[in-house]
Amino acid sequence: MFTVRTMVFSLVVLLAFVLVYPTLSSFLHQRAEVEALREEHAAALEHNEDLEAELRRWDDDAYVMAQARERLSFVMPGETAYRVVDPEAAPAAPDPEPGSPATVEGSTRPWYSTVWESVQQAGGTQVPAARDEADPAPTSTAPPAPTTPAP
């Protein structure tokens, strides 16, 4: 069946495989890694070109003005600014009660006008007088309830 020649040949092939496989495996692994690095390098170069193009756009005064208008809502002197609010996108703000701060989430008013209104309302509020130490009952700041005359 098996001759000595076949066994020696099989042993030589097995020895060659054992010696060549690790080297071939690392070669193929390194080759795949180099290809991945080349792709990453090409992507980085493309991203760098995009960033340089955007940087060159900022040298153009028209682009800077367009970005200021779009991002910061700036207007040129003499222009009138209008803000159109889509009624489907903006929630309907309920009418604020008199004497309460008009802070509604989703409001289109600038934050500083809300803060200023809060400061004005806080400045007009009457502070109750300090109560006496002997009187532990809290004082009510609510207005007295209206009384109806008895019939």
Task: Give pLDDT < 70 ranges for the chain.
Answer: 1, 90-107, 127, 130-151
CB 73 within 8 A of CB 67: no
Report the predicted TM-score, pTM, of the whole model to 2 decimal places. Answer: 0.39
The tally of domains found in the chain comes to 1
The answer to whether residue 128 sits within a structural domain is: no
What is the structure's pLDDT at 103? 46
The answer to whether residue 135 sits within a structural domain is: no
CB 108 within 8 A of CB 85: yes
What is the structure's pLDDT at 122? 82
DSSP state of 137: S
CA torsion sign, 114 to 116 to 117 to 121?
A: positive
What is the structure's pLDDT at 86? 77
What is the structure's pLDDT at 90? 55
Distances (CA, A) of 75 to 12, 58, 59, 78, 86: 84, 18, 20, 8, 21
The answer to whether residue 46 sits within a structural domain is: yes
What is the structure's pLDDT at 30? 96
What is the structure's pLDDT at 1? 65
- Token readout for 65 is 């003005």
Residue tagged 């991945």 (tokens): 36
Domain holding 29, by residue range, is 4-68
What is the structure's pLDDT at 9? 93
The answer to whether residue 98 sits within a structural domain is: no
The answer to whether residue 77 sits within a structural domain is: no
Contacts 24+ apart (CB under 8 A), 90-95: none
The answer to whether residue 29 sits within a structural domain is: yes
Distances (CA, A) of 4 to 7, 9, 63, 80, 136: 5, 8, 84, 101, 113
The answer to whether residue 21 sits within a structural domain is: yes
The answer to whether residue 41 sits within a structural domain is: yes
The kind and range of the H/E element at 38 are helix 4-57
